[in-house]
Amino acid sequence: MTAAGDGGPAATLEPALDEALAQAAEAAAGVSRRPEPVAVVIFGASGDLAARKILPALATLAARQALPDGFAVVGVARSEIGDDEFRDRCMAAAGGEEANPAWTRLVRQFRYVAGDYGEDVTFATLAEVLDELDASAGTRGNRLYYLATVPSMFGRVAGGLARHGGNRPGPGGSFARLVVEKPFGTDLDSARRLDDELHQSFDEDQIFRIDHYMGKETVQNVLALRFANAIFEPIWNRRYVDHVQVTVAERLGVEHRGNFYESAGALRDIVQNHVMQVLSLTLMEPPATMEANAIRDEKVKLLRSVVVPRADQQVEHVVRAQYGAGTCGGEAVPGYREEEGVDPRSMTETYLAMNLAVDNWRWAGVPVYIRTGKRLADRVTEVTMIFQRPPHLPFAGQLTRDLRPDSLKLRIQPDEGISLCFGAKVPGPTFRVRSVSMDFSYQQAFPGGTAEAYERLLLDAMTGDAMLFIRSDEVDQAWQIVAPIQEAFAFGEPPLAHYPAGSWGPIEADRLIEATGRQWSNP
């Protein structure tokens, strides 16, 4: 099959798709890709991310027989706990001994190193422990370092590892890799400084920047939907698409993360990473192959084509807002400025809507509307592609009052799936037409459930598959899109709007899209 469209030359994808389908069939049959023997080192092992995501994901991989026989975890943190207490925490993350016998067998050889990330003795001790595990647990010199620390420690940890040879495999090993959690900097300059720090110690092909959105099945399914189905790719362009919407809505507020959110806001917390990743996968050109660099090349090319509103256009193209008190999920909730750790006079945005453009052959003239916010009416992440209306309707007026434009909706969370909305005749004597939906649900089609994002991403990092990880130039380009908006916010432009908790956002966001005769596609 060749994937052709309005956006460039066709790309032959048959071999890559055959391989991808074979891998999917193996996964469905319970056959796992087993990595080489490896020691996984978690910096920040006593923290929340390790307890909630990393250790449970590794435990699930063990239960699925996806981990190698030679496997061990080493926790590194400042907390003064020993091997036994760390092992207890690893077991608690899996639900106890009886819940996961395969994990229980592995945990017996896990180790813990207590120490400061700025002291050489910590990394010297770690090197000794890893050498011991090569002999006792059969990890064979392979290393995967996971930086689950605060971002300010990333460069320091990478440098400490390099000074003690941790940036290269141990004797007999074939790889040493570094997994870096977001955020990748706080602005363009800090992101570039962080990149320089990491590259002083590790090569780019050793660095795996993780964004958990990329591990979600529905995000990956964008590739299958576009390039494995001849009915979609030919219409995936400006000739047929009227506009694109990306929505990342959360019902929750900032909870107990007020201090963090005050320094982040919706632009940095969601748009710079999650939204840009989803947008680039959805709108990129067909890759030559399904290899990591081929896909990431196309993502970067798409991001380079995004047109950011100039400073004097920000008011017309960007809406920022903050939630006030309201009702969410049937409960009264406080406004953002009343949340714990938030400045009572805060100007931090909890909602952001933007009208962007993509200046390339495929998408020229097609508006892209983005919105994200906290304390909205529902929790949903989705991409909606609204198609152009037919040039002429022979039945008009009251007969089509319930007919909306055709649309394709990619639901990323919480109910993963795809909806195709189109017109159909209503039964009866008159030729009345209204919109109906044809739905695909992951839960119904694959009742066994899908892997949690961290499971897939950890397995990919261990096997060296970088397709779902973020390359250095991707990070840089995403920050270049966000930087002018950050600068405008610093000068108080556009003005901060407000919306009640439990709504779909401020009226200014409705005006942003309605000014062009369109409207938001709310669930």
Active-site residues: which are they?
274
- Strand 8-12 versus strand 433-441 pairing type: unpaired
Contact 75, 86 (CB under 8 A): yes
Rounded Cα distance between 40 and 133, Å, is: 11
List, in sequence order, the alpha helices (H) in 319-449: 442-445
Task: Provide the 10 A C-beta neighbour count for residue 171.
Answer: 8
Helix (H) or strand (E) segment spanning residue 25: helix 14-28
Dihedral of the alpha carbons of 270, 276, 278, 282, in degrees to the nearest 10: 150
Q: Which of 182, 148, 375 is nearest to 274 (CA)?
A: 182
Q: Which of 431, 425, 385 is nearest to 405 (CA)?
A: 385
**Neighbouring C-alpha atoms within 13 Å toward the C-beta of 81:** 19
Rounded Cα distance between 435 and 407, Å, is: 10
| Exposed e or buried b per residue across 119-154, where buried means at least 16 C-beta atoms within 10 angstroms of its C-beta | eeebbebbbebbeebbeebebbbbbbbbbbbebebb
Contact 162, 168 (CB under 8 A): no
* Omega before residue 56 within 30° of 0, cis: no
* SS3 assignment, position 326: strand
Rounded Cα distance between 490 and 464, Å, is: 40
**Count of H helices and E strands in the chain?**
18, 20
Rounded Cα distance between 55 and 49, Å, is: 9
Strands (E), 69-123: 71-77, 111-114
Contact 3, 109 (CB under 8 A): no
Instruction: Give residue 413's identity as a one-letter amino acid code.
Output: Q
Rounded Cα distance between 306 and 328, Å, is: 34
Helix (H) or strand (E) segment spanning residue 23: helix 14-28
Q: In what order do the strands lie in the sheet with 176-181?
A: 111-114, 71-77, 38-43, 143-147, 176-181, 207-210
Rounded Cα distance between 413 and 274, Å, is: 13
